[in-house]
Structure formats: C-alpha cells, structure tokens
Structure 1
Amino acid sequence: MDTFLLLLQGNPPKTSVPWRPRAGGIVTAVLLLLSLALATSLLSVTLLYLRAQSKLQAVEEAVQKLQVSLQPDNASDASAKGSDSLQLLDEAQAGVWMLKTQLGNVSAAYGEIQNRLDISAARGAMQGRCCDVLTKLPGSWWFYGGNLYYFSKGKQSWDEAEKFCVSWNLHLISVSSQAEQEFLSKETKGEAHWIGLTDRGTEGSWRWVDGTEYRADTSRRFWAPNEPNNYDPKKDGGEDCVHTDPRIQNLWNDANCTLPFRWICKQAKAPAGL
C-alpha cells in the first residue's frame, strides 16, 4: 500500500525511464489495487462511524437521565445527592464532547477516502484513454525527476511546437538544473530541439513560456559561447527563440522562431527553473 502511494505521489526516479503505452496495463492494475484498498478502508471507517454514533446516542441518553435524577425536590434532597453526583454529571458531559469530536474526525476521514476513490476512478479512466492516443503520436514520452517529457520526431517552428505542447496541457521545456540539462542533451540524439525560452516583447529579457522564473546568473553556463547574440536582427525579426545546438554539446542558441526544429514538451511536478 505504501509503495503504491509513493508511486502515485510522483517521487522522482534517479534515472530517466521511458514511458511506454504498454505500461498502461500495469498502471491500471496498480490503480485497481489502490481502489480496492481504499474501498476496504471506506468500509472500515463507515463501521467505525456507525459505532461511534451509537455510543454517542447512548451516552447522551444517560446524561439526560442523570440530569433528571439530579433535579432536587427540595433543599435537603439536593444536599443528599451531593457533590459526587455532580462530578459524575461533569464527567458524562465531557464524555459526550469527546465522542462528538471523535465522530467529527471519523466523518472527515470518511469524506477523504471517498474523495480518493473518486479521484482514483477518474485517473484510471483517463489513463486508459491516454494510452490509446499516445500510441499514435510520433515521438517519445519519458519520465525523469518526477516530470513528464515529450521528444518530437517531426520539425516545426517554435510557435507551432508550443501550440502542440499546449494542446496536451504541456509547454515547451523549461530547464531547472544541470542534471535536467544533461538529461535533455542525452535524449535529443544529436538533433536540435526547441526549448521554451524566448525574449519576444523585450529584447534581452528572457522568460520561460511555462511561467517558470528565468535566472540569468545560473543559466549563463547553459548558453553557447557568445550567445545569445540576436544575430542579424533586421532579417525576419531577429532571434527571439532558443534551441539546443548539438554542434556545441547541446548548449543553448538563440535563433529565428520560424526555423523548423524538433522540440521538447514538459509537464513539471512543481514550479522551478533557472
């Protein structure tokens, strides 16, 4: 059970792992086992809820009877009942409060498990649909560091590449570390690939298209020597988009956004970047 939860939380693997559509059967089986486990937990919580509710009702009835019995008929009767009975009443009322608190906790747990069951069922259905579609896409899907990547086989302009990524609820890749830069360098197989870095709008003001913060100081090491240089800005609008250049160890180079290159899409687990 713990292993399955760790897998679903997206703990980053130490090495890149290719995502294959055939793995959908394994994922479906994992989701099915998780759903069964959650259903069992839901049944247990339901029984616990019913028992707590029954206990609460019994204690409340006892308190009501005790309160009636403690009503004094006269002054001497009140004295006879004494402080011990009053203490018993206080303890019983405290017990009612504790049971109500426990009942609230059980009710919250019930709701959380029900939500997990709903999410698990929806995720399983979505996984089944995605597996069939992804087999038809001309490219490679990879999991690395908890993120999902798509490496295209065809070539497009930067804008068309980003449009493709967005159609899959992704964006052109933003690079968050030296390890990620080395990963994409290895998987690009000697081909130039568009990444999600652009300075359109304000020359020299670079930004990641997925909204990740661009940090010029830590990104400097990923640029090729003398880049970016916005070569020949009067020709076709200059160079406002960035690709990896296999001729120089896949370091970054700014280029005209209309050029056709392969591209990399990314779905990040959390905002991060350089």
Structure 2
Amino acid sequence: MADEDIYENMPRTEAAPQPKGNPPKTPAPWRPRAGDIVTAVLLLLSLALATSLLAVTLLYLRAQSNLQAVEEVVQKLQVSLQPDNASDASAKGSDSLQLLDEAQAGVRMLKAQLGNVSAAYGEIQIRLDGAARAAVQDHCSEVLTKLSSGWRFYGGNFYYFSQERKSWDASEQFCVSQDSHLTSVSSQAEQEFLSRETQGEDHWIGLTDRGTEGSWRWVDGTEYRADASRGFWAPNEPNNYDPGTDGGEDCVHTEPSKPNLWNDNKCSQPFRWICKQAHGPAGL
C-alpha cells in the first residue's frame, strides 16, 4: 500500500469480508492443559521403553526355548542310558556317560545365561524408567521456561508475540535464534487465534514471495495453499504496490485496521512479529 498507516485512527465500522458461499463451521479451539501435555509425553516415552525392551524380551524367550530343548535331550539320554543289566551297562560305555555329563553341564550353563538375561532385563527397565522420569522433568522444565518467557501454547505449538518492532528479516532472525520461525497459518482456527492475540497491532508472519513474484511460501516449510488462504487476505491484496521502490511488497503482516487480514508490504517496514515453534504433533 502507498501509506500503510492511514487506517490507524479510523474507527472499525466495516465488517470482516467473508468468502463466497456458506461460511465454514469453525470448531472451538482446543486449549490443552499442562496435564495433557505431560500425559502425552509419558505415552511417547512408554512407547520408546517398550521398543527398547523388545530385543531383550526376545533374547529371554529364545534362551528359555533353548533350555527347554536341551533339557528334553538330557532326559532322553538319561532314559536311554539306564542299564537293564550289568552287561548292558558295560556296552553303553564310558563315552555315553561322558556325553550325558556334557549335556548336563550345558543345561547348567543355559540356566546361568537365562538368569543373566533376566537380570539384564530388569536392570535395563530400571535405567529406562529413570531416563523417562528425567526426560519428563526436562520436558516440563522446557514448557515452564517457554510459558514464563511470554510464549503462548495453542494447537500443539508455542507462539511468541513480540512487543518491539523490527523488519521482516530481523524478525525472522530473532525467531530462528529461538529455534522457531515467523508463524505460518494453516487453518481458520489458527488465524482467529492469532487475530485475538495480536491486540490491535500489525504483526509480521512468515509468508513471502521473494524470488518469484506471486509465488508465496512459508519460511517454516509449511505448504502454502492458495485456495485455503484466499479468505485470509484483505480486499485487493496482495497487490505488490510500487514495485519500483525497494523491490515492491514481498512480505506479509496482519493488519488490524482490516480485521487482522493479511497485507503484503515492504520487508523493511518495522512491525511487531509472531514466532511459532512446533511442540509436537497437533493436539499434544
């Protein structure tokens, strides 16, 4: 736009433009509790624990099977070596008796190995349980640190709404320094959440068409869907106003004078910004 601030003092008398057709039914956004997050993490850690113990379990069962097979062989040897009379015992010979001794020694060895596997199984389980507890503690500490630093949780993601103003590039650099990116918007519910939280201020979001005019992309790698996003743009936007100055308008911000709909602007303009950090699968 030629002058992005001309709407700043205008009263909001216009209703938000609606997409053609029946308005979509938007479910109420789900706001997870801290307990839900911890429960989900515990479930994931339990899955990892079960996977880690699978190999030891299989080894344990295989050792049991081998022991049972050897014991059956030993029993058959014992039966076959039982002499019917003195001459039969002599015929059996000392070699067969030695074979029996070796088989019995093998049984003792397998029993010892089985005991070792059982002990290892228990030890691994104890260690993994300890690691899981430590991981949950670290996870909860991370969540509390984020929330205490002003981040807000919604739909499986953390969001940071800045109070200072920077250019689009400087805003993205800040987000990257926080292991995040300028926010993408992938649903009507998320758009409404961001609109509520921006509190009447312009905010940069992570949408740009730098490189190829009109080819929009989200900097966090989210797929940009033109059809789904059409209703999020302000009327007659994007328009790449004045492309001869500073390369035109290649970066997008929410504009509260137009019910927080999107507007393309020069990337050098100073606005507040929104960072988004994925916390896990949606719904965690």
Q: Same fold (TM over 0.5)?
A: yes
1:14 to partner: Cα distance = 4.0
Cα deviation 1:11-35 (Å, max 9, x = unaligned): xx94447x9xxx8xx899x69xx69
Cα deviation 1:161-205 (Å, max 9, x = unaligned): 111111121111111111110110011111111101000111110
Choose the corresponding residue for 1:186, options 196, 200, 212. Answer: 196
State yes or no: 1:59 paired with 2:59. Answer: no
Equivalent position amino acid for 2:165 in 1: K
SS at match of 1:161: helix
1:112 to partner: Cα distance = 8.1
Shift of the 236–134 alpha-carbon distance from structure 1 to 2, 3 Å rule, reads same
Instruction: Select the structure with the greater relative contact order (CA < 8 A; seq sep ≥ 6).
Output: 2
State yes or no: 1:259 paired with 2:272. Answer: no
| C-alpha contact 1:175 1:181 (8 A) present in aligned 2 | yes
Residues in 1 aligned to 2:162 and 2:125: alpha-carbon distance in whole angstroms? 39
Shift of the 110–131 alpha-carbon distance from structure 1 to 2, 3 Å rule, reads same
Number of residue pairs aligned between Structure 1 and Structure 2 = 212
1:59 to partner: Cα distance = 2.1
Shift of the 130–145 alpha-carbon distance from structure 1 to 2, 3 Å rule, reads closer
1:122 to partner: Cα distance = 3.6
Equivalent position amino acid for 1:68 in 2: L
| C-alpha contact 1:16 1:142 (8 A) present in aligned 2 | no
1:95 aligns with: none
1:151 to partner: Cα distance = 1.1
Cα deviation 1:78-108 (Å, max 9, x = unaligned): xxxxxxxxxxxxxxxxxxxxxx9xx99x96x
Shift of the 51–126 alpha-carbon distance from structure 1 to 2, 3 Å rule, reads closer
RMSD over aligned Cα atoms: 4.4
Equivalent position amino acid for 2:131 in 1: D
Cα deviation 1:229-255 (Å, max 9, x = unaligned): 111111122111000000000000001
State yes or no: 1:128 paired with 2:141. Answer: yes
Residues in 1 aligned to 2:222 and 2:188: alpha-carbon distance in whole angstroms? 16
1:206 aligns with: 216
| C-alpha contact 1:155 1:261 (8 A) present in aligned 2 | yes
**Structure 1: 5+ residue runs without aligned partners?**
1-12, 74-99
Instruction: Give the alignment's TM-score, normalised by structure 1.
Output: 0.62
Instruction: Give the alignment's TM-score, normalised by structure 2.
Output: 0.60
2:228 aligns with: 218
1:118 aligns with: 131
Shift of the 210–67 alpha-carbon distance from structure 1 to 2, 3 Å rule, reads farther
Residues in 1 aligned to 2:136 and 2:170: alpha-carbon distance in whole angstroms? 29
Residues in 1 aligned to 2:60 and 2:281: alpha-carbon distance in whole angstroms? 42
Equivalent position amino acid for 2:259 in 1: Q
SS at match of 1:234: coil
| C-alpha contact 2:29 2:189 (8 A) present in aligned 1 | no
Shift of the 149–238 alpha-carbon distance from structure 1 to 2, 3 Å rule, reads same
Report sequence identity in percent.
52
Equivalent position amino acid for 1:217 in 2: D
**Structure 2: 5+ residue runs without aligned partners?**
1-27, 83-113
